[in-house]
Amino acid sequence: MGLEIVHLPAFGTAGVLLTVGLGISLFRQKPFGSGRWKGYYWLVLTQFVFYPAVIAVGVRYQVAHSSLEPLSTVNPVADRMLNVLFYLSLALGVFWIYRLKGFRWFALCFVALLELFLMGGLLVAGMSITGDWI
């Protein structure tokens, strides 16, 4: 029996790499034990607000369909809301990476990991508002 290569989807590979990077940055930068962590750095956790907001848009504007009716068009308000939430999340992520001076590698890995989870939520919400399920 030879060595088998594990094939992960793109999200899985990115998730593993970001988790390893986060672990390495926690080990090398020691953001919580160095005394350089400022109180407002905890506001980086506001990135968590976007995930329930995206899911709420997907639930609120889901397409009601049956097997007898053709799929309806996408609600433009819901589509715009998902786009705004995504770009707002990206902008806030870049802001926090910039603001966490001295811990930028940690911030980059942490925010990118949160963005990866948000993209999964956007995928589900996008399928909900269009009715096109994978």
Residue-wise pLDDT tens digits, 83-132? 999 999 999 999 988 988 888 888 898 899 999 999 989 999 998 888 87
pTM assigned to the model = 0.80
Identify whether 74 is part of a domain.
yes
Identify whether 3 is part of a domain.
no
Total count of domains within the chain: 1
**Secondary structure of residue 64 in the 3-state scheme:** coil
Q: Cα separation of 54 and 73, whole Å?
A: 19
Identify whether 57 is part of a domain.
yes
Identify whether 79 is part of a domain.
yes
Residue pair 58/125 in contact (Cβ under 8 Å)? The answer is yes
The DSSP code for 101 is T
Percent of the chain, pLDDT > 70?
87
